[in-house]
Structure 1
């Protein structure tokens, strides 16, 4: 899209601090996602991620409601993208074995 500076405002303190490096990422799967974000961030001239407190989320909700009222004349299309592969490499293995009857039977 051509953006050079990105300010990401999110409501998750955990995610914001994991990307900033203030919090560790112990789950291997989450660590891979955080590493992908950090790679993408390097492509920008500037990047800031900030956790928004709940008190400021009310303003975002008000803006959302205002936008839905003011722009009724615009087309409201929902675009759906089906991802054919995961953004991280992860093998899925699901082996079930039972020596007798289980709750699934």
Structure 2
């Protein structure tokens, strides 16, 4: 899950510390997974780490990882109190999730702004073009996502209408 979060945050370089020597050696390719479920996890991890510019995973001895060990034991036991520790309960193993590739983008209000920021394309109507250029100064396009600048907040990610509706739900 941590690798997934790093991918969403568009981290380029990552160093992972794990306390399982077996998992670390399987991800590094020094040993092979034998059971089918573990093979799927290793394949998923290798696919995800291939997007990083630099990826390192190293084993930390359990004696130096007591806090993480205690948290994992507490989260997996039935004695922890929800709300005291951030946990996420997955409805199914994440190797069973279907990957969906969206092929057609829906038209949205963001399209003219993205076109302008990406390619410098403005409307042939002079008044509309000037309005678009003025409006676009409030946005940043990083090649994939559109963000709105904010005075006292971090950049605000803009979503197409269907994604915004899903996020609101």
Tell me which interval the TM-score lies in, with the shorter structure as reference length.
0.5 to 0.7
Are residues 1:29 and 2:47 paired?
A: no
Larger Rg: 2
Structure 1 residues 82 and 52: CA distance shift in structure 2, 3 A? closer
Cα deviation, 1:11-39, whole Å, max 9, x if unaligned, reads 11000000001011101100100110001
From 77, 81, 92, the equivalent of 2:88 is: 81
**Residue 35 of structure 1 aligns to a residue in which SS?**
helix
Question: TM-score, length-normalised on structure 2?
Answer: 0.38
Q: Where do 4+ consecutive residues of structure 1 move more than 2 Å? A: 58-61, 76-86
Superposition RMSD on alpha carbons, in Å? 2.7
Gaps of 5+ in 1: 62-75, 91-105
Aligned length, in residue pairs:
75
Are residues 1:19 and 2:3 paired?
A: no
**Residue 83 of structure 1 aligns to a residue in which SS?**
coil
Gaps of 5+ in 2: 1-8, 69-82, 98-169
Q: Which has a greater percent of helix? A: 2
**Aligned mates of 1:79, 1:53 — CA distance in 2:** 24
